[in-house]
Structure 1
Amino acid sequence: MATNKDIKNQLANKANGGNNAPASPANTIAAYLKKMGPEIEKALPSHMNPDRMARIALTTIRSNPKLLEASIPSLLGAVMQAAQLGLEPGLVGHCYLIPFRNGKTGQTDVQFIIGYKGMIDLARRSGQIENIYSHAVFENDDFEYELGLHPKLVHKPATGERGSMTHVYAVAHFKDGGYQFEVMDIQEIEKRRGRSKSKNNGPWVTDFEEMAKKTVIRHMWKYLPISIEVQQQAVQDEVVRKDITAEPEYIDMEAPVIETPKDEATAEAEGDKEELQKDFGFES
């Protein structure tokens, strides 16, 4: 009887023109991505190319050896999540595929995280936003802001040594001439990072400033003229899918390997989702 490994090797060999050499993890995943092509094409927005999406996903996976060790259903689920949102993983910064040890299963799974540029891309799809951006403020910068009847924000970056980060702000200009801005100090950003399941892993470690910018934009989200559909898409952040057909789940990346009662695990996941939905200003 053929084993799962034999089947994976056969699939990879078929994708590589019938070469009988043992399939490497990268070739196995490439074969699965090729087979997923029609599903990726159906999931992608019309302006995106499925072949390009598959190539970018494979390049991202090959660049991180830990992703090659992850469970294939979870990895493909993360790729499908990116496709459904029309966000490209990898260096462009739209989204991240983060391998982690799943404390409930003991295996390596993959978490999908929207990046700063991905949040901006989703916001612009509303068609109501002229421009949206975020900047970090450092202690040597000239920075002041006021709220109230006449909101004001002034930021003049220092030249040379700027010191430590103190604030991050985001601004959205609307096509009707209006605007919205939000400011967070570094303490509030760290507090929100502390609530993230990926606070000690992935972009919070490697790209802190980008994640801080994303955090402020996400907080501003509820005040932006964005469709319900895009709001729903943006809620699907920091999730894991068991496979390409499963619903996204919020999983504790640091949980010990213990059996968690089903009702407790469900309540925990729903609590995480509710917190994210409140942050976005979206109610399911």
Structure 2
Amino acid sequence: MSKTEDIKKQLMQQSNAQVPKIEEKKTNLLTYFTENTLSQFGKNWNDKERKYASNLVQHLYTKAKDNQTLMAAINSDKIGFLSCISKAITLNLPIVAHDMFYLIPYSNTVTFQMSYQGYLELAWRAGLKQICVREVYECDEFICEYGSAPKLTHNPNFKERSKDKKIIYFYASVRSEFSEPIFEVMSYDEVREHASKYSKSYNTNTSPWKTDFNEMAKKTVLKKALKYLPKTEDLSKYLVHENEIEKDLSITEENLLIEESINS
């Protein structure tokens, strides 16, 4: 065997020897999050709840491994990641293909933000009879009137929409068993200004405002409409969390311990 081939063989052996160590490290980190989630938040959980929590942690960790920025933030902010897991468990969000919430890396921290699909989940749990959230294109017929006799009319022009027409409004209309339809309307620019003002990660490439602007816009206008309706426990918990985000509060260990005492 030549000297070159011998060196190649040694490098291959070293590379193969390193693989188990890397995998072991990942497994240990996943175990760390699972055990801490169960020990900190699952003191009074039954077997079904503990299994759900374990599956949720594994689901989130597996998805995070495909995002280097998020994975780095999780390694740097383990308390923040555990807090995100706690929020998802508290709201009992299902583990599905369409994510119910986002994990957002920001300045080496991890924050929790509900997606439009997750917000719809909570809205339907509130017992609403109707939820309609739509975007309005510049070619659509759209009438919005507030006052003593509010009116909302939207006739989409699907044929013209395909000709690069712009979205100009987003609206949400909701109705409970005990109310008439309640609606909120925001212009495209109003939504963008709202996101720029209240989202810490708005200008980052990982922000859902960059990757899913329309979905986040629908969530924003839906949240405004839901504020006029009676709140269920799930919806109230999340509205409190959203208000904390809008006040630009950071997640700290103290907040985590407070949250743990509430959930115990």
Same fold by TM-score greater than 0.5: yes
Residue 44 of structure 1, CA deviation: 8.3
Look up the equivalent residue of 1:100 and give its one-letter code. Answer: Y
Equivalent position of 1:138 in the other structure: 137
Higher radius of gyration, 1 or 2: 2
Equivalent position of 2:64 in the other structure: 61
Equivalent position of 1:27 in the other structure: 27
Residue 200 of structure 1, CA deviation: 1.5
Equivalent position of 1:119 in the other structure: 119
Equivalent position of 1:99 in the other structure: 105
Q: Percent identity?
A: 28
Q: Distance in 2 between matches of 1:37 and 1:180?
A: 39
Which secondary structure state, in structure 1, belongs to the residue aligned with residue 118 of structure 2?
helix
**Unaligned regions of 5+ residues in structure 2, if any?**
1-18, 260-264
Residue 84 of structure 1, CA deviation: 1.8
Q: 1:150 to 1:37 in 2, by over 3 A?
A: same
**Alignment: residue pair count:** 223
Which secondary structure state, in structure 2, belongs to the residue aligned with residue 86 of structure 1?
coil
2:80 to 64, 74, 83: 74
Equivalent position of 1:213 in the other structure: 218
The answer to whether the Cα contact below 8 Å between 2:84 and 2:103 also exists between their aligned partners in 1 is yes
Q: TM-score, normalised by structure 1?
A: 0.67
Q: Are 2:209 and 1:204 aligned?
A: yes
Q: 1:112 to 1:195 in 2, by over 3 A?
A: same
Look up the equivalent residue of 1:62 and give its one-letter code. Answer: K
- 1:224-235 to 2 correspondences below 5 Å: 224-227=229-232, 230-235=235-240
- 1:43-54 to 2 correspondences below 5 Å: 49-54=52-57
Equivalent position of 2:166 in the other structure: 164
1:155-210 per-residue CA deviation (whole Å, 9 max, x = no partner) reads 22222235111000001121236221111111221221121222213111111001
The answer to whether the Cα contact below 8 Å between 1:40 and 1:83 also exists between their aligned partners in 2 is no
Q: Distance in 2 between matches of 1:226 and 1:138?
A: 31
Q: 1:30 to 1:138 in 2, by over 3 A?
A: same
Q: 1:245 to 1:170 in 2, by over 3 A?
A: same
The answer to whether the Cα contact below 8 Å between 2:101 and 2:118 also exists between their aligned partners in 1 is yes
Equivalent position of 2:190 in the other structure: 188
Residue 218 of structure 1, CA deviation: 1.7
Q: TM-score, normalised by structure 2?
A: 0.72
Q: Distance in 2 between matches of 1:44 and 1:118?
A: 23
1:129-178 per-residue CA deviation (whole Å, 9 max, x = no partner) reads 12323111111222222222332222222222351110000011212362
1:29-84 per-residue CA deviation (whole Å, 9 max, x = no partner) reads 31123213525556989889324322322233223221211222222222222222
1:241 to 242, 248, 251: 251
Q: Distance in 1 between matches of 2:188 and 2:44?
A: 37
The answer to whether the Cα contact below 8 Å between 2:122 and 2:234 also exists between their aligned partners in 1 is no
Q: Distance in 2 between matches of 1:84 and 1:55?
A: 17
Residue 25 of structure 1, CA deviation: 5.9
Equivalent position of 1:178 in the other structure: 180
Deviates more, 1:154-163 or 1:19-28: 19-28
Q: Distance in 1 between matches of 2:122 and 2:45?
A: 14
Q: Distance in 1 between matches of 2:234 and 2:209?
A: 27
Q: Distance in 2 between matches of 1:126 and 1:29?
A: 37
Residue 115 of structure 1, CA deviation: 1.6
Q: Distance in 1 between matches of 2:156 and 2:193?
A: 25
